[in-house]
Structure 1
Amino acid sequence: MSQENFNDLYAFVCVAQEGSFTKAAAKLNVSQSALSQTVRNLEQRMGIRLLSRTTRSVATTHAGERLFVKLAPLFEDVTQELQDINELRDCPRGLIRITTPEFAIEHVMWPGVKRFVEKYPDVTLELNADNRLVDIVGERYDAGVRLGEMLAKDMIAMPISPELRIAVVGSPSYFAQHGIPRHPKELMQHRCINWRLPTVGGLLPWEFERDGEKISIRPNNSLILNTSTAGVRAAVDSMGLFYTMEEAVQAELENGSLVRVLEDWCAPFPGFYLYYPSRHHRSQAFSLFLEEMRCKEGRCS
């Protein structure tokens, strides 16, 4: 097919995207009459109508829609590739939007984020702390961060943390007063600080596993929160036992303000992944961000 025909196909894609010859002509910097003739010539060569025209609107026919669905991603790929090549002449720039749990920002992503911001000052990085399962396509994010067991199958996913473990913790004074649980089922006799799941509004079940035996506990809650920071503080203040990521309480375990129990029941599970749509057109800036966050030599961030 000649170069002129590729131009005609691109003209058709622009009209279909805009739903208007006027808007498409402005986008292509040509006259409306010239664009209309270009599409008409394409239809004549193909021997089939691609667009239905009225005085008020333009819409694809069945054949036109089929052609548009095939061609539009291809032209987007070409346009993005040309943009990426042009960016190689200059410093990367632009906006990268990431949705991520607050815990992942502080305990997993921060070293890589710091390096990226220092290396690429012309790129704006937006981290939106959100514990919901966000629709990154619908809400126009470049990528999201989730635990490995929560990833959608149609996403490209890259690990950004090693395996994680849960910790059940309480203050020394709490255990002095209420005793130490030796088995997960004994938690039902304790005061517990729980987390309300933002996605469904339910309370987080406390899950344990040892030697193939799995136990899920719905404890008696003395306090319900939706932030890990508040839960750690409540546990330090002897308000109950808290079930959280072990990294969130590492400092408190080291200084003795919290004590860990049931450690042999806390099996490792898949860590955090950065994920993005399989057809996402990666800008140079986004590709560099992925490289900065990638796990290397067994270490992440």
Structure 2
Amino acid sequence: MPSPDLNDLVALLTVARERSFTRAAIQLGVSQSSLSRTVTSLETKLGMLLLIRTTRSVSTTEAGQHLLDSVSPKLEEIEAELQAVAELRDRPVGTVRISATDYAANQYVWPKLQGLLRERRELHIELINDYGFSNIVAERFDVGVRLGDQVEKDMIAVRIAPDEIFSIVAAPKHLKESPPLDDPRDLTAHNCINLRLPTRDTLMPWELRKGKHRMEVKVTGQLVFNNAYQMMDAALKGFGLAYVPKALAEQNVKAGRLCWVLEDWFPTVTGHHAYYATRRQSSLAVRLVIAALRGNTA
């Protein structure tokens, strides 16, 4: 026997509630003849009469009433759940999970979300520091934040920050006690502070550019971190050279606590972008977060 369709059950329930094919057809947005054929088809599938039709009214048979008593609460529960999901699209409720590096979170994400959170008390944010280039879909993140060239190609991405300059810095005392640094190849003779990404088996090379010349230098040293702020702290305390975003080191350089190293080799990379899986499925909460992050990107 063919299985009844969920729409068939909804049609039967609506006719039984309204006790009229005419009123039920209006409510469902279908023609009366189409609705009648749907109910007749359901009766044929089940092999029994479910409704008693007269010229003045419609009522359920004993079998029809038994079916409705059993199915009606379940259908109402499904309708309620579907309505609740639909409301998520129209109200900024729930938790938006964001994956970002510690630097991006502190520099671009957290400052831009504070105003939104004050305006929308019902909105919740979970901001996770992550250098692992997580698959945001697999890890159930709603939004990822990465440099532009690190965003997966099948994602929808919007710029949230200007292009980023990476720099090499060291404490003045360290530079006085170390060999001269006139060329990127001299870095191999220095104590350098490394960054390890969870998705890589090797330490992250330092990418340098001077005009048309590009170079990747694999450096060594006493310390390896997976956190830009710990790298900065180690550099400030004289443990070696660090490769960090220029904006992160700028205030310490201005204060004389750090010095730029090989400044004419500092590379510029595409700035940070917020990205998500698909525009069609994004909730209002996600759209509000993206809008907040896009603000003041220059």
Could you tell me the TM-score, scaled by structure 1's length? 0.69
1:7: how far off?
3.5
Matched residue type, 2:178: H
Aligned residues of 1:93 and 1:123 also touching (Cα < 8 A): yes
- Considering only CA atoms, is the larger Rg found in Structure 1 or Structure 2? 2
Matched residue type, 1:210: K
Aligned residues of 2:206 and 2:243 also touching (Cα < 8 A): yes
For residues 111 and 292 of structure 2, the distance between their equivalents in structure 1, rounded to whole angstroms, comes to 9
Q: 5+ unaligned residues in a row in structure 2: which ranges? A: 12-38, 47-81
Q: Partner residue of 1:69?
A: none
Q: Judging changes above 3 Å, is the alpha-carbon distance between structure 1 residues 248 and 38 closer, same or farther for their aligned structure 2 residues?
A: farther
| Residues 125-154 of structure 1 deviation map (CA, whole Å, 9 limit, x = unaligned) | 111111111111112111111111111111
Matched residue type, 1:83: E
| Residues 18-43 of structure 1 deviation map (CA, whole Å, 9 limit, x = unaligned) | xxxxxxxxxxxxxxxx9x959969xx
Q: Judging changes above 3 Å, is the alpha-carbon distance between structure 1 residues 10 and 262 closer, same or farther for their aligned structure 2 residues?
A: farther
Q: Partner residue of 1:225?
A: 225
For residues 123 and 242 of structure 1, the distance between their equivalents in structure 2, rounded to whole angstroms, comes to 37
Matched residue type, 1:139: E
Aligned residues of 1:80 and 1:283 also touching (Cα < 8 A): no
What RMSD, in angstroms, separates the aligned Cα atoms of the two structures? Answer: 2.9
Matched residue type, 1:110: W
Aligned residues of 2:90 and 2:283 also touching (Cα < 8 A): no
| Residues 238-269 of structure 1 deviation map (CA, whole Å, 9 limit, x = unaligned) | 11111111122222112111111111111211
Q: 5+ unaligned residues in a row in structure 1: which ranges? A: 12-33, 42-77
1:278: how far off?
2.3
Matched residue type, 1:157: A
For residues 258 and 218 of structure 2, the distance between their equivalents in structure 1, rounded to whole angstroms, comes to 22
Q: Partner residue of 1:252?
A: 252
Q: Partner residue of 1:163?
A: 163
Aligned residues of 2:207 and 2:267 also touching (Cα < 8 A): no
Q: Judging changes above 3 Å, is the alpha-carbon distance between structure 1 residues 237 and 93 closer, same or farther for their aligned structure 2 residues?
A: same
Could you tell me the TM-score, scaled by structure 2's length? 0.70
Q: Partner residue of 1:83?
A: 87
Q: Secondary structure at the match of 1:181?
A: coil
Matches within 5 A, 1:206-225: 206-225=206-225
Aligned residues of 1:180 and 1:261 also touching (Cα < 8 A): no
Matched residue type, 2:257: S
Q: Judging changes above 3 Å, is the alpha-carbon distance between structure 1 residues 243 and 38 closer, same or farther for their aligned structure 2 residues?
A: farther
Aligned residues of 1:143 and 1:275 also touching (Cα < 8 A): yes
